[in-house]
Structure 1
Amino acid sequence: MSLVETNGTGYASNADWSAYATAYDLLSRHNPEYKALMREFEEFLAEIDAPKIIYDVGGGTGNYTEIAARLCPESSICLVEPDPGMMQAAKVKLSARKNVTYQNVGLENAEVPEEADLLISVHSLYAMPDPHQRLADMRRMLRRGGLLYLVDLGRPMDVQDWRRFLFSRIRQEHGLFGALMIFWQGRQIAKQNKAIFEAQQDGTYWTHSADEIAAAVTAAGFDILDQRSVYRGYSDLLVCRATP
């Protein structure tokens, strides 16, 4: 667990999230593991009653907010994202979605005018200061019985492993020249993933086992309904219910 300061960004320092925002959505188009995560979220939403209030915490460029807004058009959705570059990309992407509002703040400063039925947090908790306290904040934002859909990067980001994996998969689909062009366009992703790895190594960003994140979630006031390893074993997916 990291207790480092955020300098007002809402994230523990190291990765340049605004720089990351310029290339981040290449993940949704070309990373098969990221696309699999989004499909899993779509399947999850299809299986539950439509939530009235949804918060997407650390929502980045708005990919999960976009899915929720599309599949739950009657829901009121708030995207909470502290980084201005990520937030601007999200607002452009979601400009046609009238059921989305925004808070450009860190989770600890988020306003909660009404408790949520669903809170989404995908690949953001590990980069927040004091993730155990942030889990408690998430519980505070949810009504009793509300659902937490949590995906978190727990294991160190092996940049070389991901580079080999992605180049192989993208080359199969787009050929050698296409793969080289995509990698050039996404060079900022590799740079920021290296910064993430270094922050994990020095303890700035939280790393955890599946058991450790399960214990943290339970201690924060959640019952775990489902838990599994995703993202080639680097991340944990947990569906949880807020307890009284």
Structure 2
Amino acid sequence: MNLESSNTADRFVRADWSAYATAYDLLSEHNPEYQILLQGFEDFLATIKTPQLIYDIGGGTGNYTEIAARACPDSEIRFVEPDAGMIRSAQSKLADHRNIEYDTLALEDIDAPGTADLIICVHALYAMPAQEQRLADLRRLLRPGGWLYLIDLGRYMNVTDWRGYLFSSLRKELGLVGALRVFWNGREIATQNKAILKAQKSGVYWTHTEAEIASVTAAAGFEIVKQQTVYRGYSDLLLCRAIP
């Protein structure tokens, strides 16, 4: 398991998240596996006591915060996303919700220990440096017994596999012409997914097995209540509680 890349020559091999943001929601809207993840989060919220304070760490274009804001209108939500393009997309999408504060800090720079009731961290941890330390930061932000809703990309991003899957789904939904139109408009996604794969292979982005992510999460002070492989086997979902 490679938690930190030691290859300084590859330290700038990363996705352009602002470019990703321009087309992210277009394809996500038509991706059945992504919609399953969103529904799973909404189902989870219905099973817990309404959180007073929610953090969405690496919140991207705001899809999980949108669900949380709708399901928990009385909660305070802090949306944390360091990329300018992503946070602009999120602010536009979430403009009607008044219970959200936006922050461009990196996770390790947030100074609010032990206050959150729920932290959402979806497909963000793998792109951060030093995952063991970042998980410790997530634990630091949670009150004892607070929830961590963690989904992380663990396996190599097989661009060809995802392209075939998405095109097949789009063709069933929209027909050939509609599928081609969406693919063309969302072509930046393929470019950035290739960059993610390159960063994974170079060790800049973290890859892990189910056992590896469970081990480092538990070591950071979390009880893993539920774990499963999701997103066509590419990602791991861990539902955790902060150990007092």
Task: Tell me the equivalent position of 1:3.
Answer: 4
Letter of the structure 2 residue corresponding to residue 230 of structure 1: V
Structure 1: tracts of 5 or more residues without a match: 6-10
Task: Tell me the equivalent position of 2:134.
Answer: 134
Task: Tell me the equivalent position of 1:63.
Answer: 63
The verdict on how the C-alpha distance between 1:29 and 1:70 changes in structure 2, with shifts beyond 3 A counting, is same
Task: Render the CA deviation track for 1:156-184: whole Å, top value 9, x for unaligned.
Answer: 00000000011011101100000000000
Aligned counterparts, 1:1-244, within 5 A: 1-3=2-4, 14-112=14-112, 115-244=115-244
Q: How far apart are the structure 2 equivalents of 1:114 and 1:221?
A: 13
Structure 2: tracts of 5 or more residues without a match: none
Q: How far apart are the structure 1 equivalents of 2:170 and 2:93?
A: 24
- 1:239 alignment partner, SS class: strand
Structure 2 length-normalised TM: 0.95
Letter of the structure 2 residue corresponding to residue 173 of structure 1: E
Deviation, structure 1 residue 114: 6.3
How many percent of aligned residue pairs carry the same amino acid? 61
- 2:24 alignment partner, SS class: coil
2:227·2:236 contact (CA, 8 Å) conserved in 1? yes
RMSD: 1.5
- 1:35 alignment partner, SS class: helix
2:37·2:231 contact (CA, 8 Å) conserved in 1? yes
Letter of the structure 2 residue corresponding to residue 193 of structure 1: N
The verdict on how the C-alpha distance between 1:13 and 1:72 changes in structure 2, with shifts beyond 3 A counting, is farther
Q: How far apart are the structure 2 equivalents of 1:207 and 1:222?
A: 20
Q: Number of paired residues? A: 239
Moved over 2 A (4+): 1-5
| Higher deviation after alignment, 177-186 or 18-27 | 18-27
Deviation, structure 1 residue 2: 4.3
Q: How far apart are the structure 1 equivalents of 2:166 and 2:25?
A: 15
Letter of the structure 2 residue corresponding to residue 224 of structure 1: I
2:56·2:121 contact (CA, 8 Å) conserved in 1? yes
Q: How far apart are the structure 2 equivalents of 1:45 and 1:108?
A: 26
| Higher deviation after alignment, 148-157 or 101-110 | 101-110
Letter of the structure 1 residue corresponding to residue 226 of structure 2: D
Q: How far apart are the structure 1 equivalents of 2:3 and 2:222?
A: 21
1:196·1:205 contact (CA, 8 Å) conserved in 2? yes
